[in-house]
Structure 1
Amino acid sequence: MKLNRSTDMALRIAMLAAANPRRMTVDELSDQLDLPRNHVAKVVQRLQRLGVLVTIRGRSGGVAFAEDGGRTTVGHVVRAFEGDDEVVSCDEPACSLRAACRLRGELRRARDAFLAVLDDVTLGELVAGPTGPALLALGLPRPRPAPSGGPPGRDVSPSATVPRPPEPHAPPSPVGPSGARPAVPGPV
């Protein structure tokens, strides 16, 4: 089952908020996850209504993981964002096999099994172990090209942010540690 973009964003936002001990702004979430700001704002609102996030307005406001958010299951979030629609639509246009078809029922069973697995995983479990620190590493500043005419003494060319290949190594010296050339075996 493929998740829609909003569901994917919701899970990533919830995980980052869960791993981060401080409040974050919508702009920070957008930058760190490389997602469109307007979409992030809408998803944050929905996650707040679900009780996953807490939003605080004002100068020192932001978005934080709700105290009980860690007990929320991934299945709950996925259902809230995906809805209860069938995997296939047999009505538009009307399928002539609908009365005798077993596919719809089997796909429903597969969807239910998929969601049952996600019901066994909480958001808190998703950020346990190495995932939490990896999520926080997303917040590290990314190199961005400086605008032309940047501060003096700073290279602002686009090549300044591109990693350079390592310097080639010199071939080993034919002279040994004592200064004498090693004996080269000749033909036997």
Structure 2
Amino acid sequence: MKISTKGQYALQMMLDLAINDTGEYITIKSIAKRQNLSEKYLEQIMNLLSRSGYVKSVRGAKGGYRLAGEPSKFTVGMVLRAIEGDLSLVEITDHLPDAPVEECILSNVWRKMDEAINGVIDHITLEDLQKEYQSTVGYDYVI
């Protein structure tokens, strides 16, 4: 499994929305500037995230994007699957009774690898990543 740049950027944008949430909608321009990415490409990705129900969008002068829920609601796996689709390493099919033993054994390896990967990405939330960001970068206090 290789995560595409589209999948990577989707996760980056969701994290950006979580980190920079002030209750207001955030423009694609400001996200693109902070992340040093193309507005046009981010717009395409944001449309996919919006259709998946992960972000809310509003058009107009005060428009932009926000998470459609709390950061704790979204896992890395959810975001990646919204963009990438199935994240399985290989397509595993049910074996016929006369399938070679090696095929059955390797299928178990692929299945275990998928379970391990999914176990990780389905338990890391945007909130976890947000907390990690805040502990790494620190809080920006303004007096």
TM-score interval for Structure 1 and Structure 2 normalised by the shorter chain: 0.7 to 0.9
Greater CA drift, 102-111 or 127-136: 127-136
Label 1:52 to 1:85 Cα distance change in 2 as closer, same or farther (>3 A).
Answer: closer
- Provide, for residues 116-168 of structure 1, a one-character-per-residue CA deviation record: whole Å limited to 9, x for no partner: 1111121122101543884999xxxxxxxxxxxxxxxxxxxxxxxxxxxxxxx
- Provide, for residues 67-111 of structure 1, a one-character-per-residue CA deviation record: whole Å limited to 9, x for no partner: 334311111112222222642469xxxxxxxx4324344223212
Alignment of 1:91-102 (within 5 A): 99-100=99-100, 101=103, 102=105
Corresponding residue for residue 60 of structure 1 = 62
1:119 aligns with 2:129: no
Q: Structure 1 residue 34: deviation in Å?
A: 1.5
- Match of residue 43, structure 1, among 42, 45, 51: 45
Alignment of 1:168-183 (within 5 A): none
TM-score under structure 2 normalisation?
Answer: 0.74
- Is the Cα contact below 8 Å between 1:52 and 1:68 reproduced in 2? no
Alignment of 1:1-188 (within 5 A): 1-20=1-20, 21=22, 22-84=24-86, 86-88=88-90, 99-100=99-100, 101=103, 102-131=105-134, 134=137
- Provide, for residues 9-43 of structure 1, a one-character-per-residue CA deviation record: whole Å limited to 9, x for no partner: 11100000001124221122122112222220111
Residue aligned with 1:35, SS:
coil
Stretches of structure 1 that go unaligned for 5 or more consecutive residues are 91-98, 138-188
Q: Structure 1 residue 46: deviation in Å?
A: 1.5
Equivalences, count: 129
Question: Between Structure 1 and Structure 2, which shows a larger proportion of helix residues?
Answer: 2
Separation of aligned partners in 2, 1:61 and 1:135: 28
Name which structure has the greater RCO, CA cutoff 8 Å, separation 6+.
Answer: 2
Asked which structure has the greater CA Rg, the reply is 1
TM-score under structure 1 normalisation?
Answer: 0.58
Stretches of structure 2 that go unaligned for 5 or more consecutive residues are 93-98
CA-atom RMSD in angstroms: 2.8
- Is the Cα contact below 8 Å between 1:18 and 1:70 reproduced in 2? no
